[in-house]
Amino acid sequence: MYEILRQFQLKGTPVFCQRFGEGHINETYITTCDTGLSYILQRINTSTFKDPIGLMENVSAVTSFLAKTSEDPRGAMRIIDTRDGKPYYVDALNQYWRVYDFVPSSICLQKAETTQEFYNTGLAFGRFQRLLADFPAETLHESIPKFHDTRDRFRQLHEAMEKNLSGRIDTCRPELEFALAREKEAGAIVEALESGAMPWRVTHNDTKLNNILLDYDTHEPLCVIDLDTVMPGSALYDFGDSIRFGAATAAEDEQDLSKVSMSLELFEVYTKGFLTGCGGSLTELELQMLPIGAKMMTLECGIRFLADHLNGDVYFRIHRDSHNLDRARTQFKLVADMEAKMDQMAEIVHKCAN
């Protein structure tokens, strides 16, 4: 680690380094120098991110843009370049490493325990949209191609059904019927983007509270972190996925579906925070389609779980038999509940936007 750290333009000599955080994809370490300054060192998981150079070009461009728009120096992550001026270092094993400044007087929470913390999540990701509203999203690489192309997710589901690698297709006929009955809606967001009816925006695509740094004392949001999945997309993606897991009344893999619903109270809390953070930067069509974004991201996640169940659980980590099928059932229960509450969701968006 010290040999890798010496490749970066640190202020001082590293004297301490250990694992840090609770991330599951990249390896993360914290290091402290003899000057007292601390840094975050990460090894990029190239099994997940096939184009680490493109990924780092995205991160560099977005963080540089945010640094110019934030009044608080803690309002944007800062990449530390290598000694030859690159934002990443490639070691002898062809592993990709990067270093960030450690943000002082900050804290990261794993999940929202209060409605205020959920509001702050919406505020932070809404602000992320506002600050990047003028960023040319089309210049970014797709770090995971077709990540939220719901039409392509249905294509993958059909492929999983045809191959039936796990031999489980008869265990999930009702779930397949539920999903396929909604396939015609799959292109709602992508087609609006492709036609120009809706603007391409910088999207984060992993909008959980633990991807926000908060002020240690006030718990006010400082900046959005974990930008590996930043790419061109729709603001509906980030909003919708936040509602999918944040406004649900039960865990993502709850087996008792009677416990699963979408809380309108939590929907309103997040919507208020998100739209406050956006500061009027969304178009009328985006506002109108926010409830549809919540439904589509939930449906998409459900069909991903269902396809993985058919494929033999090769993507999502499982802890019991039929774990992915349980997850798919939970998502589809949420979809059905959202459909029943769509008018109320639209009224909440209208109220929060005016």
Domain match, 170 and 92 both: no
Of the CA atoms within 13 Å of residue 150, those in its CB half-sphere come to: 30
Whole-number Å distance between alpha carbons of 305 and 160: 11
Phi-psi region of 121 (alpha: psi -120 to 50; beta: other; left: phi over 0): alpha
Domain match, 123 and 95 both: no
Q: Can you list the pairs that 64-73 forms with residues at least 24 positions away whose Cβ atoms lie under 8 Å?
A: 65/131, 65/132, 65/135, 66/131, 66/132, 66/223, 69/131, 70/131, 70/223, 72/222
Residue 14 lies in a domain: yes
Whole-number Å distance between alpha carbons of 69 and 148: 28
Domain match, 206 and 163 both: yes
Domain match, 72 and 149 both: no
Whole-number Å distance between alpha carbons of 281 and 347: 19
Domain match, 121 and 93 both: no
Record the pTM: 0.92
Buried b (16+ CB within 10 A) or exposed e, 192-214: bbeeeebbbbbbbbbbbbbbbbb
Residue 119 lies in a domain: yes
Domain match, 247 and 304 both: yes
Domain match, 211 and 151 both: yes
Closest-CA residue to 102 (of 204, 35, 32, 13): 32
Domain match, 289 and 347 both: yes
Domain match, 15 and 76 both: yes
Model pLDDT for residues 83-139, shown as the tens digit of each residue: 999 999 999 999 999 999 998 888 888 788 899 999 999 999 999 999 999 999 999
**pLDDT score, position 24:** 66
Domain match, 342 and 278 both: yes
Model pLDDT for residues 324-344, shown as the tens digit of each residue: 999 999 999 999 999 999 999
**Residue labelled with tokens 């077709």:** 146
In the chain, pLDDT over 70 holds for what percent of residues?
99
- CATH code of the domain covering residue 167: 3.90.1200.10
What single string gives the DSSP state of each residue in 282-299?
S-HHHHHHHHHHHHHHHH
Residue 29 lies in a domain: yes
Whole-number Å distance between alpha carbons of 226 and 204: 8
Domain match, 88 and 223 both: no
Exposed, middle or buried by CB within 10 Å (0-12, 13-18, 19+), for 179?
buried
Residue 253 lies in a domain: yes
For residues 303 and 263, the answer to whether their CB atoms sit within 8 Å is no
Among 70, 104, 138, residue at a domain's last position: 104
Question: Rounded to 10 degrees, what is the CA torsion of 78, 82, 88, 92?
Answer: -150
Residue 65 lies in a domain: yes
Structure tokens at 23: 């991330």
- Helices and strands (H, E) in the chain, number of each type: 11, 11
Lowest mean pLDDT among 78-82, 93-97, 134-138, 204-208: 204-208
Residue 109 lies in a domain: no
Instruction: List beta partners, residue 38.
Output: 32
Residue 312 lies in a domain: yes
- CATH code of the domain covering residue 23: 3.30.200.20
Lowest mean pLDDT among 22-26, 209-213, 294-298: 22-26
Greater confidence (113 vs 182) lies with 182
Mean pLDDT of 180-209: 95
**pLDDT score, position 21:** 78
Instruction: Assess whether pLDDT exceeds 70 at residue 181.
Output: yes
**pLDDT score, position 314:** 92
Helix intervals (H) in the chain: 2-5, 52-69, 115-131, 150-163, 173-180, 188-195, 235-246, 264-278, 284-311, 323-340, 342-353
In angstroms, the Cα distances linking 230 to 5, 206, 273 are 25, 9, 21
Among 60, 83, 104, residue at a domain's last position: 104
Structure tokens at 152: 């392509």
Residue 110 lies in a domain: no
Q: Domain limits at 72?
A: 2-104
Domain match, 133 and 179 both: yes
Q: What is the mean pLDDT of the chain?
A: 94
Whole-number Å distance between alpha carbons of 181 and 200: 28
Among 75, 104, 133, residue at a domain's last position: 104
Report the SS3 class of residue 56: helix
Q: What is the DSSP letter of 262?
A: B
The count of structural domains within the chain is: 2
Q: How confident is the model at residue 184 (pLDDT cuts 50, 70, 90)?
A: very high
Mean pLDDT of 309-330: 95
Model pLDDT for residues 251-286, shown as the tens digit of each residue: 999 999 999 999 999 999 999 999 999 999 999 999
